[in-house]
Structure 1
């Protein structure tokens, strides 16, 4: 057997018994393998240096250290994780600033129904290395600090209510967050080579000021959740407090959809699927199995039809698509920016515009960040 066939069989054997029905049919195809994109081949680079499928176009929304067009707001440096929020007939795109020395935070750009920019403003400032995060069902943005004993900040995309620190969600090297409204928990990733996968159980759903931080355990192949005794992470880091906590090599982005929390680990270049209802794990993508069309896995989002969009930190500067039929292929590629990374992919509420950033742009420095929008015939059915 070819090496990828052996590895694929090993991945399936680890958790096959836990799946049944349509979920089993999906899991049986993991990990995804290279194939043709549903959008076809990438075309030559456009005026913005982006290679897109036929029928798609790009535009620049904002540039770091420059005023957002039509506003007085200067866009932040090192744009990172992001999300979109409905705003009447328009929407808001929020973006983190992965800057240290108290220069971190988050900003927002507001669009009307015609996708015209109508405003831009800060929603968080004075924090440290705000990397990724996640949206909540009650329309707030969780901005996560990627530093040891970092906090999660709950922010208002409209910039009306002040940001609130949420220490009950744990102090550790936070990366991303994904809310699960069915089980009323928030999943959290940790960007450490021996990081853990957490969930926060609020005392009251919709209020993150208090609750219980739990970590995923694996005992004899069975998964369970255990309470972290000291979410403050001092003197013992949260990842070392629970014996048997499952180790993940460099947790990055995460996204919840339809009972599954998808998350990425950069150390082993994998995309995982935690199926919450079945309490099982599967590997959606593994570069050792799939032939590495996708490297430097980082932020992740999903389209309504179920396609995953995974941004690369390095690699070929691509956003790759992973389809529900388990095909992985490039969706776009940014050219001429090899010293950057792609961050913050997020769809507008209608699902016909994709936002993302090149964190360091053409200059390779934090001040060179560029935030883009891609528009085109995103599929609405499989």
Structure 2
């Protein structure tokens, strides 16, 4: 029996104008990284927030950083009521090629079968997974800026919160959610670092700049881009591995593998600059060019975002500032991107353009607060996200 999966109270189901032409689109994503050691018999109840709505929801289980096969014997998805409690009747078992269990090989990921019913845009989707044999390196996303839950034993089918008492600020083993919708609907992937990841935005309130962008997209008639995948990883660099694989090394998995993506939003580079590793503007520009080339070869266009001000952060110096200015000039004027979002201009102080405007600064002079995140999203030209590769 086909059921409506998740429709928040008061939202009516809209008819799909593209029934004859449909495709899968990513509605949520998180950059994968190694995340400690797996624990045998542990369950995770993961709360994620969707962007695009549609039916035929699928999740992607990831064992990208595992060193052995990983079995999941029970996976469910439902709608959050509050905390770890689900809306009654919304929790549904997910299958994999018709089976209730799946073994994911080391270094790989697997999509679930489509789940009947419609998933509304802007939903708090709850994915509950259990593994009887997890061990070795776990795959996940460390800084979720959202509360999820951990338990020991299999409580995935439970809709109550009784078995889910331990909280976590990370997502484990799930790195993407997709829906099926009109072929006219596309998605944008934000490839970035801690600012994109949402550090210093308000936990559990979805106030990262890609969240604000998602809300703008849902309210706009200027574009048919509705899906937003946040592939920010705190500390990430363009050129070198460290906090996660570099943007160059994770592009295929964290961007190009997702369905329905129309545009890559590239906002990285500050960690390459401020780490004092001798990275030059030319090094970064070459890295950007490689990312643009590979994205266009995959049929995507690329929007480049200027690097924001960071004077006052403990790693700031005049040499790094000179690199930032040269890189930003390239992003603004080279014509090598399909579009430009000037985050530097949106965040900087008119009195000292090397510093962030205090009203937008969380206090560390590098990461914006909620108002700064919103200012960044407001600086994005929505129509430009519908571009075609040059």
Specify the TM-score bucket, using the shorter chain as the normaliser.
under 0.3
Higher fraction of helix: 2
- Give the alignment's TM-score, normalised by structure 2: 0.25
Higher fraction of strand: 1
Larger Rg: 2
- Give the alignment's TM-score, normalised by structure 1: 0.26
